[in-house]
Structure 1
């Protein structure tokens, strides 16, 4: 075996692939900016931070809310299981670990307040992510904490609302077909993240600039949650058999990492694409063409506007 020749071929292949990648970036400048921005915002760190804060902050809050609002036990666990694709194994494990009487006995009013405010760490992680992407200074202190707390409460309510609306329209006798329900879910989720980004950025970025990222987040998140059942359920079952409750927690943490990657990646791609000169030119040209067509077809005195160069029409009766 000629180690030197194999090493030479390997180095040549790596250089060839590198040159091809550089050539592609030069031909499509938006790819170069995307790579630069992914490095600048520390993409992996942002995903891990959102996943960790979601796992450590939301689950204790979920347990406390379930303990003091028993009606949320079945609905809350069911919705969480449907979103993450845990299946019956994970559903039963989580339900078995939620001991309502024990939580009530050990958690007082002060404990509830501390738990709810500690849950704002998840909102602060998302806030810092948006601020990092849009290169805005961080707003913390009492104002930032209050904004994050109210957003978190509103976000939890929006999850219940979206789930309730879809449940009413679901089933074999649902009011809407499958694709229509999918589109409605995308619209509702995208609207939620559009409001989220605008609120956590304190309105410093116009909603028009945030729209593309919110739409991408809505589409990818709905696809992610709907496809989780095919992948996560056997994964959770295998982990639960090997590690018990710890295995379910590991599966949830894996799902949360993917969830964080969707938030960070879609928000960043939305900004880069919406600010690309070529994309802006196409959008503005399309808007101008649509506006011109509307003005030509807009009803005035019951007739359409004459084409360019045509003689003016005489009023009736002359």
Structure 2
């Protein structure tokens, strides 16, 4: 009886192992096509090329726009800009002092050097940044380029909203005075909303709102997580670069950080397309079929 009981227990154990193996095999068969779709999507988006181009455009056009904006902004706006940049980039020490020197220029000569016309030209030049981000969104959603009449004004609107969002990052981080317990969820929510709206705007409203939500969530969470991680990495890196190479070291470090940032952005938007077209999610979100 004891031998029969042992053989029965062994047979039951083998059946359980086979069931577990069959279940894991089914999971693997489902996961592999998803991984293949995700990999193909990253290749279609030209991930490294797109993130590097966005970083370069952001550095060459959007950052000068920030400095031009700071020359005309009220002092409290400049203070918030420094606070937000300190949070987003994880700045400290000498790097913060340099940023305050740049954004703290308020004399009339500096404003005349910039000039209203100069700021306007800088704004138009900075639309290269918006256009590069628009191309990433269109590649991610496999859409043809939108007509100039549809999207031209959207480039400027996106830049202005982006500037406003950057200024309030410090306030969001602090939860408008309530502390980090409120600041962190507020930052996640604001970042998700910004990237949700960004996709809808730059795609020329050609994709409904709900299918854009997975990409917005992924991008929003990734950007806030990077800002949080930067507090531990960037201060030491910037201080070492500044001590070793002077201002040129800060340029290289900042450009490297921007490449990481826009890699996170490109991955989030591109992966959002794949998730939005997964069968179960597509039914809930009302995702249009691929073109």
Q: Same fold (TM over 0.5)?
A: yes
- 1:115 paired residue number: 122
Structure 1 segment 237-256 matched on structure 2, within 5 A: 237-256=239-258
* RMSD between superposed Cα atoms in Å: 2.2
- 2:66 is equivalent to residue 59 of structure 1: no
- 1:42 paired residue number: 46
Q: CA deviation at 1:27?
A: 5.4
Specify which structure has the higher proportion of helix: 2
Contact 1:58 1:122 in 2 (8 A): yes
- Higher-Rg structure is 1
Give 1:106's match in structure 2, choosing from 101, 110, 113: 113
User: Structure 1 pair 207/74, CA: closer, same or farther in 2 (3 Å)?
Assistant: same
- 2:86 paired residue number: 81
- 2:99 is equivalent to residue 94 of structure 1: yes
- 1:231 paired residue number: 233
Give 2:160's match in structure 1, choosing from 121, 135, 153: 153
For 1:139 and 1:224, the matched residues in 2 are separated by 31
Structure 1 segment 178-189 matched on structure 2, within 5 A: 178=181, 180-189=182-191
For 2:91 and 2:152, the matched residues in 1 are separated by 32
SS at match of 2:93: helix
Q: CA deviation at 1:278?
A: 5.6
Q: CA deviation at 1:152?
A: 1.1
Count of equivalent residues: 255
User: Structure 1 pair 274/165, CA: closer, same or farther in 2 (3 Å)?
Assistant: same
Deviations 1:30-84 (A, max 9, x none): 1001111111111101000111111111111111111112413322122112101
Give 2:33's match in structure 1, choosing from 20, 29, 32: 29
SS at match of 1:28: helix
Give 1:195's match in structure 2, choosing from 197, 202, 207: 197
Contact 2:216 2:268 in 1 (8 A): yes
Structure 1 consecutive aligned stretches of length 4 or more whose deviation exceeds 6 Å: none
- 1:210 paired residue number: 212
Contact 1:78 1:91 in 2 (8 A): no
TM-score in terms of structure 2 length: 0.80
Contact 1:93 1:245 in 2 (8 A): no
Any gaps of 5 or more consecutive residues in structure 1?
1-23, 285-318
Deviations 1:139-174 (A, max 9, x none): 25354221110121122223334543443544xxx2
Q: CA deviation at 1:97?
A: 4.1
For 1:169 and 1:109, the matched residues in 2 are separated by 32
Contact 2:67 2:102 in 1 (8 A): no
TM-score in terms of structure 1 length: 0.74
For 2:216 and 2:93, the matched residues in 1 are separated by 31
Q: CA deviation at 1:103?
A: 3.0
